[in-house]
Amino acid sequence: MAILTGAQTSTPAVSPATGRRRPGAAVLTALALGLAGLGFRIAVLLADAPPTNSDEGTMGLAALHIGQGNGLPVYFYGQNYMGTLEAYLAAPLVALANGSVLALRMPNLLLYAAFLAAMWALTRRLYSPWFATFVVGLLALGSDRVLKNQLISGGGYPEINPAGAALVLLAVGLAVRPRTAGYAAFGLIAGLMLWVDWLVLPYLAAASCLLLLKKAAKRSWIALAAGVVLGAAPLVIHDLTSSWKHSAIPTFLGLNGGGIEASWADRLHGGVLTGIPLATGLCAPGRCEPWQLWWAPAWLILLAVAGFAAWRSFRTRADRVASAGEPAGRAASPPDRVRAAGRLALVAAALVSLVVYARSNAAGNTPIESGRYLHCLLISTPAVLWPLWTLRGRVTRWLGAAGLAVVCAFSLVATGMVVHELPRIAAVDDRQVGLLAELDRRGVTYVYSEYWTCNYIAYISSERVRCAVIAADLTPGFDRYQPYKKAVAEAPTRTFALPTGSPESQAVRDYLDSRQLTYAENVASGYDIFQPTTRVDLPLPD
């Protein structure tokens, strides 16, 4: 019971033979739990889950091109944000295993392991060793949404949590003991995140504020600036060689206002009531059941309690420093005050992330898929659960233990749902694999399809099949990789492979029938394949 209430801490034992400290029970338990979480994710990947899509195929194409020396893409093809770090990390493996989704995802396992290590170190430093072990155990579990964010190379999500946790951890350490190398590392990670994914900016900002608690030497700030420039070098080079409208600032300012206007009620429901349990690992695959939504108000209450406690502790430490006659600002940063500031940073960053997401139209229009935008909330897990861990008293400590047990139980249920549905989840990709086999059998190398199919089959075929997108109104769709659009348009024949029953499939059939054109139609793996005997003028002009 003392473990659940945080009444005990773990101190590494000292070996009488060597005089060196041996890992304590908390460390070894955390290591075992972390390895279990890593093993679970390896098993999920080997089961061909989570299902991939055209966005991951796009990242795979970038990795393929990097490995072949056919380009050094700065951003996700078709846009001016979201750096391709995942593609560069996976490029050596993709070069060895052309078209392998597993090879594309392997670096994400290392990023997940880094996230667990950073979270254990951060939680131990801000809270307690056994609580850090508990947090690692909770993060070893994984709901459908959490696993997708951590394992799919769809652009930025696997990197942001280890980076965000590392930034806060570095900032806490530097606020106590400034070191030039630490500032350089902080700058490098910050620069990389400015290039890769802006979802982590609230945590970057909070961590940066922690650096102001301690006065550092001029060389430390120079090292930090150099690290930022180095990490953000792809972004800087891109902006210097592109027009203003394609640079980072206007792109960033225009990101949150797109899509169909959603009502505030829908935004709050999707962004808060659904978004919190979805992003923190309590929801079923592809949905949040009503009985899983209780966590949103509970999470908000716990966050408020944690924020109030951290602020009160921070102010108390500042008052004590002032009463001792020392400056309360940057020149004096006692560890207790830094610890309180670090806790406050986790609360503030989570709150900002939630508010920004809840204001977006995506939260109201597509809450399940857009829940990935709250992926960083996992970094604030210790801040949210600490109030339950530290409850004291004969009755309240049991309430805290019960609360933690309920959170663990719901997370375990969500993880169990993934295991139960693995065969169904893994079967999703079978359709595209079957389609590719049919196209190969027919000797088709240029094809029109819909967005979520095109770049995926291009990647898994190692560009043997090149695909361009056709929209439901028969005009050209959104092609992220423009060379495919040109190549397919110039092909001597037309082949259309579209999901059975889709608007695109029906539109192509109606077009061919209305003009009494002769064509062969086949169904393979859930796709309608149309092959006109003569070249047709599709897609229609924009």
Are 187 and 166 within one domain?
Answer: yes
* Domain assignment of residue 451, given as a range: 430-532
Check residue 332 and give its pLDDT: 41
For the segment 96-110, the average pLDDT, to the nearest whole number, is 96
Dihedral angle computed from the Cα positions of residues 378, 382, 383 and 387, in that order, rounded to the nearest 10 degrees: 130
Which tokens in the block code for residue 16?
């009488």
Residue with tokens 């797109």: 258
**Lowest mean pLDDT across 146-150, 208-212, 246-250:** 246-250
Provide the 3-class DSSP secondary structure of residue 532: strand
**Lowest mean pLDDT across 4-8, 114-118, 195-199:** 4-8
Are 334 and 445 within one domain?
Answer: no
For the segment 56-64, the average pLDDT, to the nearest whole number, is 97
Domain boundary residue, one of 423, 438, 458: 423
Domain assignment of residue 233, yes or no: yes
Are 412 and 462 within one domain?
Answer: no
Residue 384 identity (one-letter amino acid): V
Domain boundary residue, one of 403, 423, 443: 423
Instruction: Return d(Cα 12, Cα 377) in angstroms, integer.
Output: 30
Nearest to 232 by CA among 204, 256, 257: 204
Confidence band for 430, pLDDT divided at 50, 70 and 90: confident
Confidence band for 6, pLDDT divided at 50, 70 and 90: very low
Instruction: Return d(Cα 456, Cα 444) in angstroms, integer.
Output: 16
**Lowest mean pLDDT across 127-141, 207-221, 288-302, 319-333:** 319-333
Distances (CA, A) of 192 to 43, 156, 185, 229, 533: 30, 11, 11, 9, 51
Which tokens in the block code for residue 221?
């700030």
Are 308 and 440 within one domain?
Answer: no
pLDDT at 371 over 80: yes
Helix (H), strand (E), coil (C) string for 502-529: CHHHHHHHHHHHHCCCCEEEEEECCEEE
pLDDT at 522 over 70: yes
Are 489 and 385 within one domain?
Answer: no
pLDDT at 333 over 70: no
pLDDT at 2 over 50: no
Are 348 and 492 within one domain?
Answer: no
Dihedral angle computed from the Cα positions of residues 277, 280, 284 and 287, in that order, rounded to the nearest 10 degrees: 50
pLDDT at 35 over 80: yes
Check residue 330 and give its pLDDT: 46
pLDDT at 509 over 70: yes
Are 214 and 359 within one domain?
Answer: yes
Which tokens in the block code for residue 427?
């079967």
Nearest to 51 by CA among 432, 378, 308: 432
Are 281 and 221 within one domain?
Answer: yes
Answer positive or negative: Cα dihedral of 396, 399, 401, 403.
Answer: negative
Are 500 and 391 within one domain?
Answer: no
Domain assignment of residue 18, yes or no: no
Domain assignment of residue 13, yes or no: no
Strands (E), 58-161: none
Mean pLDDT of the chain: 92
pTM over 0.95? The answer is no
Domain assignment of residue 174, yes or no: yes
Domain assignment of residue 14, yes or no: no
Are 172 and 246 within one domain?
Answer: yes
Report cis status (omega within 30 of 0) of the bond before 499: no
Are 443 and 481 within one domain?
Answer: yes
For the segment 185-201, the average pLDDT, to the nearest whole number, is 98
Domain assignment of residue 538, yes or no: no
For the segment 382-405, the average pLDDT, to the nearest whole number, is 90
pLDDT at 260 over 90: no
Are 399 and 495 within one domain?
Answer: no
For the segment 442-461, the average pLDDT, to the nearest whole number, is 97
DSSP states of 441-472: HTT--EEEE-HHHHHHHHHHTTTSSEEEEB-T
Q: Which residues pair with 529 in a beta bridge?
A: 497, 522
Domain boundary residue, one of 423, 444, 460: 423
Instruction: Return d(Cα 481, Cα 459) in angstroms, integer.
Output: 12
Domain assignment of residue 80, yes or no: yes
Phi first, then psi, for residue 113 (nearest 5°) are -60, -40
Task: Give me the number of domains the chain comprises.
Answer: 2
Q: What burial class does residue 81 get, using C-beta atoms within 10 Å of its C-beta: 0-12 exposed, 13-18 middle, 19+ buried?
A: buried
Question: Given phi > 0 = left and psi -120 to 50 = alpha, else beta, which region is 521?
Answer: beta
For the segment 411-428, the average pLDDT, to the nearest whole number, is 92
Domain assignment of residue 19, yes or no: no
